[in-house]
Chains A and B, each alone.
Chain A
Amino acid sequence: MLQVGLEHFLFVSAILFSLGIYGIVTRKNAVMVLMGVELVLNAANINFVAFSKFGNFGINGQVIALFVIVLAAAEAAIALAIVLNVYKTFVNINVDEINKLRD
């Protein structure tokens, strides 16, 4: 095994990203889709922090990661509110059945 370096972290984040996308695409439940989104955001965050450490960007990468976490929190709150509203309207939150966008 090689010495753990940038590539290792990037690899982990790439797999995590793909898994996130997979979750978003395949799950029926809207809350599960949200979880996928969280995975994707975390994958991106790992990249930021990793580049911050190995690319000599100082503290900036971490700051951006911090912002992303904040955004994620806001996004989660709004998304859940929307989910609740959708639930009230359609009595379910299965995204494959909510295809009003087509009409």
Chain B
Amino acid sequence: MSENLLIQLSVTILFLPLLGFFAVIFLNKKIPNMYKFELGVISLTFIATLLVLYGKLSGYIDETIIGTFNWIDFGKVPVLGSVTIELGVKLDNVAVIMLFTVNLISMLVHYYSVAYMKDDIRYNLYFAYLGIFTFSMLGIVITHNLLMMYIFWELVGLSSYLLIGFWFEKDSAADAGKKAFLVNRVGDIGMFIGILILYTNYHTFTFDEIFAQIQNGVIPFGSSGWLTAAGILVFMGAVGKSAQFPLHVWLPDAMEGPTPVSALIHAATMVAAGVYLVARIFAMLTADAMVFIAVVGAITSFVAATIAITQNDIKKVLAYSTVSQLGYMVMSLGVGAYAFAFFHLVTHAFFKACLFLGSGSVIQAMHHEQDIREMGGLRKKLPITYVTFLISTLAISGIPLTSGFLSKDGILAGTLAFGDLTGHWLIPAIGFTVALLTAFYMFRLVILTFHGKPRNKEKYDHAHESPKLMTVPLIVLSTLSIFIFYTPNPLSPDAGWFLGEWISTPQTVVPQSSAFEFMNDGTTGTSNEIIHSQIYEDAMHHAHYPAMFLSLALAGLGIFLAFVFYQWKKISADKFAESIKPIYQFSLNKWYVDEIYHYTVISGTLAFSKILHWFDAYIVDGIVNGSAALTRLISRISGLIDTYIVDGLVNFTALFSGFMGLSLRRLQTGKVQTYIVFVIFSVFVLLWVFNSI
């Protein structure tokens, strides 16, 4: 396949779902089965994606294919010089793999939804929304510049809003949609400012050109502080979209949307877009920005994991687990383990999508019961769901032979190496704690849902396994959670093709003074891309085995504890919770983040609005009313003048005219001939007066 063909194919992949969206949204009233068109489109997209994946990885494994075109040519603009906005497609291995991940999950979710959304009144519309979401997400994946990234960024925000609020008849769903949209705005503003900083300085939106200029020593406003700021501001977008602390509050609420949507958008793809964005700008992150990112990721993963432990809604647990895992990826990028962050993004996408779809299967079987306290024993009723769910749970907990073990292990090794190299030991400490917590709460979920005795007999009796349309995606996704797809050696991810051949970390371009010291010894590797740092690679190798054993031990401990508490009931979970009530309550109420926002941001905004209202009501309105009164006074005076002086004059004129008319009307005979006589006579008089005669 030629490069041009790849570019054309990827653009086709981008626009096919948009076509599906428009076709379905315009025809859904006329053609009842219009959703089938969208299904066809997404299948076609997936086939094209497979072609691109194969073409890229077989023919151009070490190359980056870029296709651009000029979108807008503003010509000469004052201050900025000549301005052209360039759009383009950048196909490197990261983009291609991401393309595959997004399209695969999107397709599976499409088919899953056919069964899951069966009786919905807006069935077709749902698929239209899925189409526009897929379009927007693919745009983010294949773009080669920040502007297009931002455009599609907002588009995924929109489609996410539409899908969260899909059941807008429910107040909670409508509110969740609004919340997601507004919270994302906060992050997006930061991202927008960051993009503007970069554009002001480099006059381009394209990643590679920005990196090239930074490498040539061009720094925003001549200070590396600004480079850090730009990195952190663009990362703000990721904080919003990837639900990082403190903007993570929208994601759990977003579970109000249909479950397949949660799987597609709020677990596998859209929320990973933030991670993808950070990966894209990875090369221009300074040491300070990276530490910031790592800390944000660590805090997020810890906070979310502690909350997930106490939640009782099956989707809420998964939501917080998603937040926690996203925190992991961000943290991983922050510590420089770029490849593992992306690896985890992919593996997580598969097993978390599987978990969500599995929870959808459970929820449907339980007739829309989401509370795990009402479940139990479903293992026998839903065997396929149980098995796939269990495999994914093992993966997320980091048990060997799963993909999660490989990626998570790498991340932990990365944090350990980072701690070793820089002395930031808190980050690996948090990383390992979260590994323990993750194993614990995930198995708590599995045990409470599938093991033990049914706690709600009635619902249990009516439960039944989901149709094939729903179980097949589960099987596919759980299969992809097995190590063999990524590496032949279940203990060493580096030996595999995924990390060994496809993904390599980009060399940092920031000036030496503002990058980590260990990042600066870039040596050219065997591939075209530059292995970013030998020291770091070595440190990770050293950290690999300690990290592996430690995380294994912690995961085992977590699983063991979960069994102790919930399976064997050696220790009563309720009593234990009672004994640490403040902490339990703190976790159950999600660290009171929503409440804090409510009392600070929301109340603050409301109070500010009240002040503005008061200002409006008393000062602005006062001025308006005052001027109105003044106008009235002036009007009254001028009215008096009108009545007595102006009207007097007018009336006098009228009276005078009337009098004159009365006296002159006799001259008016109405006959033209009389008038002519008058005219002739007047001419004569005039001639006489002017002495012409």
Contact = CB atoms under 8 A, between A and B. Distances in A.
Direct contact between A and B judged by beta carbons closer than 8 A = yes
Interface of A: 21, 24-26, 33, 95-96, 99-103
B615 to A, nearest CB: 66
A27 B589 CA distance: 112
Main secondary structure of the interface of A (DSSP, over half): helix
- Please give me the 10 A-B residue pairs with the lowest Cβ-Cβ distance, nearest first: A102-B670, A99-B670, A101-B670, A25-B673, A99-B671, A25-B676, A25-B677, A96-B671, A102-B668, A24-B676
Contacts of A100: 670
B31 interface: no
B672 interface: yes
Nearest to A21: B680
Interface string B660-681: 0000000011111100110010
Contacts of B673: 24-26, 33, 95-96
A33 B677 CA distance: 14
A100 B677 CA distance: 19
Nearest to B665: A102
Contacts of A24: 673, 676
Contacts of B676: 21, 24-25
Contacts of B680: 21, 25
Nearest to B668: A102
A100 B668 CA distance: 11
Contacts of A96: 671, 673
A95 B669 CA distance: 12
Interface of B: 668-673, 676-677, 680
Given A21-B680, A25-B677, A103 B672 contact: no
A101 B667 CA distance: 13
Nearest to A24: B676
Contacts of A33: 673
A78 B653 CA distance: 41
A103 B670 contact: yes
A60 B673 CA distance: 34
B471 to A, nearest CB: 95
Contacts of B677: 25
Given A24-B676, A25-B680, A33-B673, 11 more contacts: A21-B680, A24-B673, A25-B676, A26-B673, A95-B671, A99-B670, A99-B671, A101-B671, A101-B672, A102-B670, A103-B670
Contacts of B669: 99, 102
Nearest to A99: B670
A24 B671 CA distance: 12
12 contacts: A24-B673, A25-B673, A25-B677, A25-B680, A95-B671, A99-B669, A99-B670, A100-B670, A101-B670, A101-B671, A102-B668, A102-B670
Contacts of A95: 671-673
B629 to A, nearest CB: 51
A21 B671 CA distance: 15
A103 B669 CA distance: 10
A95 B673 CA distance: 8
B373 to A, nearest CB: 99
Contacts of A26: 673
A99 B671 CA distance: 5
Nearest to A27: B673
Contacts of B672: 95, 101
Nearest to A96: B671
A100 B676 CA distance: 17
Contacts of A103: 670
A95 B674 CA distance: 11
A100 B672 CA distance: 10
A102 B671 CA distance: 8
A25 B675 CA distance: 9
A21 to B, nearest CB: 6
A12 B676 CA distance: 22
Nearest to A97: B671
Contacts of B671: 95-96, 99, 101
Nearest to A26: B673
Contacts of A25: 673, 676-677, 680
A22 B399 CA distance: 128
A21 B673 CA distance: 10
B29 to A, nearest CB: 63
B681 to A, nearest CB: 11
Contacts of B670: 99-103
A41 to B, nearest CB: 15
Nearest to B672: A95
A21 B672 CA distance: 12
A66 B680 CA distance: 26
B628 to A, nearest CB: 49
A96 B671 CA distance: 6
B670 to A, nearest CB: 3
**Which of A26, A95, A101, A103 has the most C-beta atoms of chain B within 10 angstroms of its own C-beta?**
A101
**Which of A21, A25, A95 has the most C-beta atoms of chain B within 10 angstroms of its own C-beta?**
A25
A101 B670 CA distance: 5
A87 to B, nearest CB: 16
Nearest to B680: A21
**Which of B669, B673, B676, B680 has the most C-beta atoms of chain A within 10 angstroms of its own C-beta?**
B673
Nearest to B679: A21
A102 B672 CA distance: 10
Nearest to B675: A101
A96 B680 CA distance: 18
A100 to B, nearest CB: 7
B148 to A, nearest CB: 74
A35 to B, nearest CB: 14
A102 B666 CA distance: 10
A53 to B, nearest CB: 25
B13 to A, nearest CB: 79
A81 B669 CA distance: 25
A98 B670 CA distance: 8
B674 to A, nearest CB: 8
A43 B578 CA distance: 128
A26 B671 CA distance: 11
Nearest to A28: B673
Nearest to A103: B670
B661 to A, nearest CB: 13
Contacts of A99: 669-671
Contacts of A21: 676, 680
B682 to A, nearest CB: 13
A103 B677 CA distance: 20
A101 B669 CA distance: 8
**Which of A26, A33, A96, A100 has the most C-beta atoms of chain B within 10 angstroms of its own C-beta?**
A96
